Amino acid sequence: MKELKDWFVPWLTTARKYDPSILDVAWAHPDHARLMLNENPIPPSEKVVQAVADAVRMGNRYPDSMKRLRAKIGAQYDLGPDNVALCNGSSEVIDAMMRVFMQPGDEIIMSDPTFGLFPPRAELCGGKVVQVPVRESDLQYDVDGMLNAINEKTKLILVINPNNPTGVFIDDADLERFCKTGIPLCIDEAYKDYNPEIPSKASLIKEYPHVFLSVTFSKAHGFAGIRFGYVLGTEEMIKAFNTMFLPWNVSLMSMAAAEAIIDNPAEIQAKVAHNNRWMKKFYEAAQGVGLKPYPAHGNYMLIDASMSGRTTAEILAAAIEMEKIYLKKIGKIHGKDGFFRVTPGLDEENEKFLRFLHNYFGK
């Protein structure tokens, strides 16, 4: 008789894994500062809590696709309700897009580094991930390298804007070069809201029907645990995503929370202001102790500490030991060890991080 593992689709064992075990560690150590996840440290407002409480009273009913909410979201981009499909956080877009466009053997082009969930979700459909390293000088997308990687098997291109973990925005002209290929292009705007002065790229959808946007409320809105996101695209694109998403995928509570925060933009603005104030301080402090922080446009900062002679593993261990801070492990970039990523927490947690920088690197 075949063993159980021999029944599995082959890519279940061969696909890269996204390791979420740090979450179990973090929840088990509530006295440690969670500066390693790109979370928002500020809990939901009372308005959001009340909206969720009201919705849960109707929790015996299946949710609809909430046209009113889709219309409010669409209007923010000069799009209609049928240009929006709701989901449980944008991880669902990441998963669905692979299944909408890729068959076993097909390829997706993305940068290296990238957000770690993309490669496993592509490989779990039997897809092949083609990663093109970011430029060494400024960690910008290597647009020529990515365009040169296109072949007849390429079914998707991914541009996270600003990129995670590097924090850089792509130039408009470069983004348009990807649009012009006619190959489905995912523009992930998970962190765009931290930069209200920069327009969303949603307008590209009108000119380029192969383009879709992925948006999450996990970051500036602080809904990582509530789970809410959406995809924007042409009506044809949205129908394809809705076919791939499960029906009633988003709970009444998540949708109610989303509507409450959309109706109260001051809550988002306050969260963004807190983040951006601390990002500036982190940047200056890292530079002050001789490290190289990258100008970041999200809620995370990539810091090159390789010049200190310390490895990433040593830095992460020291942060836990000295200040009970979790930082994010970043693999070698261009062969260099010593990169890590940090996300602002609450004031007191951020003070701990500044103290760590000073005491560990500054002496």
Ligand X SMILES: Cc1ncc(COP(=O)(O)O)c(C=O)c1O
CA distance 77 to 201: 9
Minimum CB separation of residue 123 from ligand X in Å reads: 17
Among the residues of 142-216, which ranges form H helices? 143-148, 172-179, 204-207
Closest to ligand X by CB, 38 or 83 = 38
Q: Are 203 and 189 in contact (CB under 8 A)?
A: no
**Cα gap 176→60, rounded to integer Å:** 46
Contacts of 332 (CB under 8 A, 6+ apart): 339
Question: Of 220, 219, 199, 217, which Cα lies nearest the Cα of 269?
Answer: 220
Cβ proximity of 190 and 219 under 8 Å: yes
* Residue 91 Ramachandran class (φ > 0 left, ψ -120 to 50 alpha, else beta): alpha
> Smallest distance from the beta carbon of 360 to ligand X, in angstroms?
26
Nearer to ligand X, 285 or 301 (CB): 301
Q: Which is nearer to ligand X, 89 or 113 (CB)?
A: 89
Rounded to whole angstroms, how far apart are CA atoms 73 and 93? 16
Nearest to ligand X of 155, 219 (CB atom): 219
- Shortest distance, position 231 Cβ to ligand X, whole Å: 11
- The nearest distance, CB 120 to ligand X, in angstroms, is 13
Task: Please identify, using beta-carbon distances, which residue of 282 and 361 lies nearer to ligand X.
Answer: 282
Min dist CB 159 to ligand X, Å, is 10
**309 has which bridge partners?**
none
Minimum distance from CB of 160 to ligand X (Å)?
Answer: 4
Q: Which residues bind ligand X (CB under 6 A)?
A: 38, 89-91, 115, 160, 164, 188, 190, 216, 218, 224, 229
Tokens read off for 304: 């090159």
Residue with smaller CB distance to ligand X, 127 or 165: 165
